[in-house]
Amino acid sequence: MSAGGALCLHNADSDAVAKCLREEQFFWLDLEDPSAERLKALADQLHLHPLTLEDAESFHERPKREEYDHYVYLVVYGVDEQAASGSHLLREVHLIISGDYVITIHHGPFVALDDLRRRFDGLPRRTEQFLVYMILDAIVGTFIPVLARVDDDIDDVEQAVISQPTEDCLKRIFSLKRDLIAMRRVVTPMRDFFARDADRIAELPGMEPDDHLYFRDLYDTLIRTSDLIDSYRDLLSGATDMYLSTIANRQGEIAKQLTIIATIFLPLTFLTGFFGQNFSLLTNHIINRAWSFWVLGLGLLGLSIVILIIFFRRKGWLGRDELVS
């Protein structure tokens, strides 16, 4: 392999690839939404296995590593740092890694790879393995800023649940949970195959050896990412419980206040109903004077309210703040 600068190609045609192969120039080819014809031509040019072509044409694959005679095929995932919470967050990237080239295939622009390609193009290349590490690190590293944003969102949701729990709070909690579940679904298998098989990349024919700590660093990043996802899921579960508990407490307070009001009106309803009966004894002999209105009418009503309030206070069912409110 030549020891010049790193050659980074973006959606290059077959002629550019053929030139690199003739000159034995290690290159990185980044393909964005390639057509089936382009992939077929590339597979013929690089002598790729038919199963590799089939995988490259079909996305929504699980993270995996497949080893062939002279290359390794990887399916890894990153996340779109610009995507809003609850939207399509994951970005699937297929890699074909050989001692002669690295090929990345993905749908749509991927900011992490675009930035890396602009930064790395033309710079002196340390080793092929280092370039492979930089590509994988750029993809895997996209989880960290997104998880930092999730952390801030969780803090905001918890404050909102404490101050004013609404249905929007619950929607935000479930939206964040969906994001974390989606990330966990791809981070865990990536963590596992990097733990087992990362060193196999350095053993490819033509791959210049380098420090294996690079790939161990990828494994450490995935472990930290996995731990953060699990921690944030626990925090969201706690926020959900806190939301439900707060709502239940508020409903209990409302039910308590309504019960107190209903209990106070119970003797009032009885007294007004009793003295509202049109019996001769009541209308002709008891409630036919002014004192009967003040004593039996308003007096008994006021007395019943006072007795009930004293009773509630002694039982501890009614505090001063509730009484004022």
pLDDT in tens, 246-299: 888 888 878 877 888 888 888 878 777 777 777 666 666 677 677 777 777 777
Per this entry, what is the length of the chain? 325
Radius of gyration of the chain from its Cα atoms, rounded to whole angstroms: 36
User: Domains along the chain?
Assistant: 7-246 (3.30.460.20), 276-324 (no CATH)
Structure tokens at 195: 């733990």
Cβ pair 23, 4 in contact under 8 A: no
| Tens-digit pLDDT profile for residues 46-66 | 999 999 999 998 888 889 888
Cβ pair 221, 141 in contact under 8 A: yes
| Sheet containing 7-10: order of strands | 7-10, 27-32, 101-106, 90-98, 71-79, 64-67
What does 221-287 look like in DSSP terms, one character per residue? HHHHHHHHHHHHHHHHHHHHHHHHHHHHHHHHHHHHHHHHHHHHHHHHHHHHHHHT---HHIIIIIS
| Stated pTM of the model | 0.74
